[in-house]
Structure 1
């Protein structure tokens, strides 16, 4: 609407302009209207002479109201107390047909967004997972080798009373130089595999983002007009700008951190019982506690994100929520 009022109309003044649009709110100031449905002319005339005027009025959105400026921000606890619980639940529970259709589409979706992202990355996604596992294997092996090395040194010192070059606890005799070489190889392998893993991971993410963007653009370009009638233009643009921007900027780093933390925790769970079995019991307790925290945090954050994505139906409730939303996240 801003482009129409400030760009198209001033530049094309005193000229015949044909505006092809699915945004029906632009019809209010047009001189002549041709309404097409399924590729056929259904109405021809002015906005007042259209035969099926109720159909158009039901799809034309009213002009947006200018937000009222407050001198002082309202007190959030007092604001919540002034809102009845019934009215609050009714405001939040009311959903537009577009939001209901979007929720039904999410329920019918066979695969998750993460699986769609990994499948868009191609066959390299499997190699990335293998390199993540290999990097963690080298790291956990180096930690385990250090624990063996320390035990062998302590055993050798307690047995001889001095630091001996030869360690005979294993079936074969090894010296300190051999331990250093093994540790150096493990560290070098960890560094090499980690670098290759990071490069392959970001290369796969770039490829997946490109494929998803092309698929989304192709789907929109080949969509029927019914899609534009039932979908809001702002929501379509948000998929390309906000959602796809989040996939391009934040998802690769977040996915890498998530995989690293998960594999590191799994490696620790394997190394701890191998070195000291008594530490395995408190580890399981801590793991269960953090898993409960994770469930609570994900559920709460997902609910707040859904509220953020919905259209604010009341200035009172939206203003109250946005006051505490950043600190809650």
Structure 2
């Protein structure tokens, strides 16, 4: 069975930053890219808020840069999916693509989180062309335009109030007859003049042409349809951390995010570290993920040097 000193699962900004640091610390890391090589950012066209790219950068281009930087220092980047793990003893036993098993002395988990979408074919069609799951990432492109946010929780209210500072009009499309958000967030939404809350409405269809989103078809509780003219629609109905294979082995919070010791990347299992969106229900930004990848690699290096003596 192949033995690996430092195994990194996931290939977003957290995974590749961990790989850069782990390689330079001579940990000979092996990184498995998973189902989406490059992570969520490969579905983003323009990234304008990552430091060091004054003109902005294409999502796939930035991830390719990170990958090449990790490889330059010796990271073994492999395509493949980790399908199961046994963390009950060290070295950990990890299964790749349901068949091949490898042993790892340490593990950095950076499997990310997946934004929840409505599941409409039109939503899929206009992803990256007006359909987004991150107002902080993409809101800037809709300055002085009309947009919509789908959702009724804290995240949706936060996205709506953020977009209200940039956009002309923000529609908040809420399925229920009330907001699930905290009192403070509800008040902020209700006191923002350019946010219009549409209670008991569902998004039936996203409308658009070759230039991108132009509107949305909404359906209320009585089945009546309304059309709104918008240039962008933001999904804020939650994220799903990619932690299924760690359930019952690592301590997760109620939403399924990996719990870490505050101020570190250490998980409930010694020798397993977590980085990026898989442990971050709050920020979910590429720069935060990259920073946490650095932390995980440094924690991992300290752990390996303390166990090798």
TM over 0.5: no
Which of 1 and 2 has higher RCO (CA within 8 Å, sep 6+)? 2
Name the structure where helix makes up a greater proportion of residues.
Answer: 1
Taking structure 1 as the reference length, what is the TM-score of the superposition?
0.23
> Which has the larger Rg?
1
